[in-house]
Structure 1
């Protein structure tokens, strides 16, 4: 890493420039430079409406237990890819709305589908209403006990808040219950079973909250976050929590906070999606493209070369190792999905997709929103 913006906030005081890098090396695959490693060369494919997508504003990507890829689009409904063909589902099929924001699977193999107008359940045969009618859902999570958590926004119109379904009834949480805010961008469960939320709250943000089963503990900028709007999060193998904010990435180890920005290698400070892949490299989806860090080197991919668009809203690694990047440009006619695969993945889902999807380079476009 380069730059001086990686620092530790809180009780520990300023950290050494290399301290976060040292922490990351514990679980990232450090190697020779990307230029010297053929195995880090990717082949890129773009998927748009010309290839079968119903819409190019991609909000969520999800792979179910059967290896089927599901795509939530804002305006085109739900898309399903079986490795060969695309199928589209819309309100005519039973979806609550054609603005699909989140897809998750429970232990029975059923899909819970969050939309801008409520929750839909798909049992493999049909779509049925599943509650929260009229609520604008942004994020879903099915926890280890099969409880369904739904984070909502548009609080002035529909109330917002966090909602949990235990199989029998819904329970709602708001500020009076200890939530930091009522417009929820992300719900995440860590390895200890704690529920974390990231907030939006009319664009100002309210920080993150952590539910340990008894009470909420909340964190804001004054505690160490770079920004109070938190779009993405994950837990690294050492138990640290990572938060993608509108001002960079904040990392919390339970005591101290660490910060990562463009000065350290990110292509843009607005971070909407994060992933550690199967080869222990890190990916950050931002408003300016995707950044990859392998423990030593940073590489960024943008619409000037590999990506179909710059604003990356979601990242998925499928079971065959292929990396899917869903873009959301806010501009009609732009966006879609970019898929990266390594040449060695000859039998991957992307190779199967190539028999159906035309193999062509990503379009070079300027969405005008970054």
Structure 2
């Protein structure tokens, strides 16, 4: 799951409402189709102003918020968990489930382990590298990776251990507030661990050494927000416009958007509105291995059979998830949405509609 803190925290880097030349080629035979879908928006209370989505192994859905805690939907009712229930913070940015069925919540004040009854909290006082969590991953070997605004650490259940990542040389100016922000962590099909970084691109760790991908290697921007491997082994990276950090509003424009690493070169998509010279925060591979790409003001794109299909969503998208029943959920700045079987985009509030 893409951390929902990513978009809100870009208020720090100017986005207030929410949060090399040889490689500039456009992928051929790619067309965009816009779905003539109807948007249904209700006036009921939103689940949260900023929403993320997680599904645990038993099918229970959790909706993360940055102010109201986390909401659990078990198929019958929606129940909120907050600091009153034992969470260290009402800012919930990520969730991961361990092999014992415990849920781990990344928050704005450390991490919390939930065994179904009680929360056990961990913070910098316990050795955590930073209390400001950004994302969580338990890899195929059982290693628990914790991404924060102060770098990466691992946790063996007892002890935290810092995991330093080298800083590659980059051409763009680094924002000191975000230079150690780990924006995403993912494991590829070969067991390599990838780290998205705000200003230092994407870093791949094979267990011994690092390989870095920045604008020098052809990325639109070294401010990488999300990384996903497709079924062919290509790597898709969503980036944000680094110039948004500029204190001068007239200079907040530059390159960003979607990038595809096919093993030889990095491909860009300049003809797809919202996927170039813009911010792409979330990339998701669904149960059919099709890809979905978020945008700030152009809805969400589905990529299947070399074609981009656009679904209009009225608010910026920060998280995407397809549940076990095949429903596609969109966590947004402005509430929760889903896309039904007919391509209709529906706003889901605390009163539903759930079915």
Structure 1 alignment gaps of length 5 or more: 1-8, 22-29, 36-40, 154-159, 329-334, 345-349, 361-370
Q: Residues 249 and 294 (structure 1 numbering): CA distance in 2 closer, same or farther, change over 3 Å?
A: same
- Displacement of 1:260: 2.1
- Displacement of 1:211: 0.9
- Mapped partners of 2:54, 2:44: distance in 1: 19
Q: Residues 354 and 72 (structure 1 numbering): CA distance in 2 closer, same or farther, change over 3 Å?
A: closer
Q: Tell me what 1:111 maps to.
A: 103
Aligned length: 303
- Mapped partners of 2:185, 2:324: distance in 1: 23
Matched residue SS, 2:281? strand
8 Å contact 1:47–1:337 — kept in the other structure?
no
Q: In the alignment, is residue 164 of structure 1 matched against residue 154 of structure 2?
A: yes
Q: Residues 48 and 123 (structure 1 numbering): CA distance in 2 closer, same or farther, change over 3 Å?
A: farther
Of 206, 220, 228, which residue of structure 2 is paired with 1:234? Answer: 228
Q: In the alignment, is residue 139 of structure 1 matched against residue 148 of structure 2?
A: no
Q: RMSD of the TM alignment (CA)?
A: 3.2
8 Å contact 1:46–1:337 — kept in the other structure?
no
- Displacement of 1:231: 1.0
Q: Tell me what 2:45 maps to.
A: 50
- Mapped partners of 1:300, 1:142: distance in 2: 32
- Displacement of 1:359: 8.1
- Mapped partners of 2:332, 2:38: distance in 1: 18
Which moves more between the two structures, 275-284 or 139-148?
Answer: 275-284
- Displacement of 1:267: 5.8
Which moves more between the two structures, 92-101 or 123-132?
Answer: 123-132
Q: Tell me what 2:190 maps to.
A: 192
- Mapped partners of 1:218, 1:271: distance in 2: 20
8 Å contact 1:282–1:292 — kept in the other structure?
yes
Matches within 5 A, 1:190-269: 190-200=188-198, 205-246=199-240, 247-261=256-270, 263-266=271-274, 269=278
Q: In the alignment, is residue 300 of structure 1 matched against residue 305 of structure 2?
A: no
Structure 2 alignment gaps of length 5 or more: 1-19, 169-178, 241-255
Q: Tell me what 1:347 maps to.
A: none
Matches within 5 A, 1:215-364: 215-246=209-240, 247-261=256-270, 263-266=271-274, 269-288=278-297, 289-295=299-305, 297-302=307-312, 307=313, 309-328=314-333, 335-343=334-342, 357-358=352-353
- Mapped partners of 2:353, 2:23: distance in 1: 53
- Displacement of 1:199: 1.1
- Mapped partners of 2:99, 2:42: distance in 1: 30
- Displacement of 1:61: 1.2
- Mapped partners of 1:126, 1:57: distance in 2: 25
Q: Residues 338 and 161 (structure 1 numbering): CA distance in 2 closer, same or farther, change over 3 Å?
A: same
- Mapped partners of 1:241, 1:148: distance in 2: 22
- Mapped partners of 1:358, 1:339: distance in 2: 10
Matched residue SS, 1:239? coil
Q: Residues 273 and 226 (structure 1 numbering): CA distance in 2 closer, same or farther, change over 3 Å?
A: same
- Displacement of 1:47: 7.6
- TM-score of the pair, normalised by structure 1: 0.73
- Mapped partners of 1:359, 1:68: distance in 2: 13
- Displacement of 1:178: 2.0
- TM-score of the pair, normalised by structure 2: 0.76
Matched residue SS, 2:45? helix
1:181-209 Cα offsets, whole Å, 9 max, x none, are 52111111111111111112xxxx11111
Q: Residues 337 and 115 (structure 1 numbering): CA distance in 2 closer, same or farther, change over 3 Å?
A: same
Matched residue SS, 1:272? coil
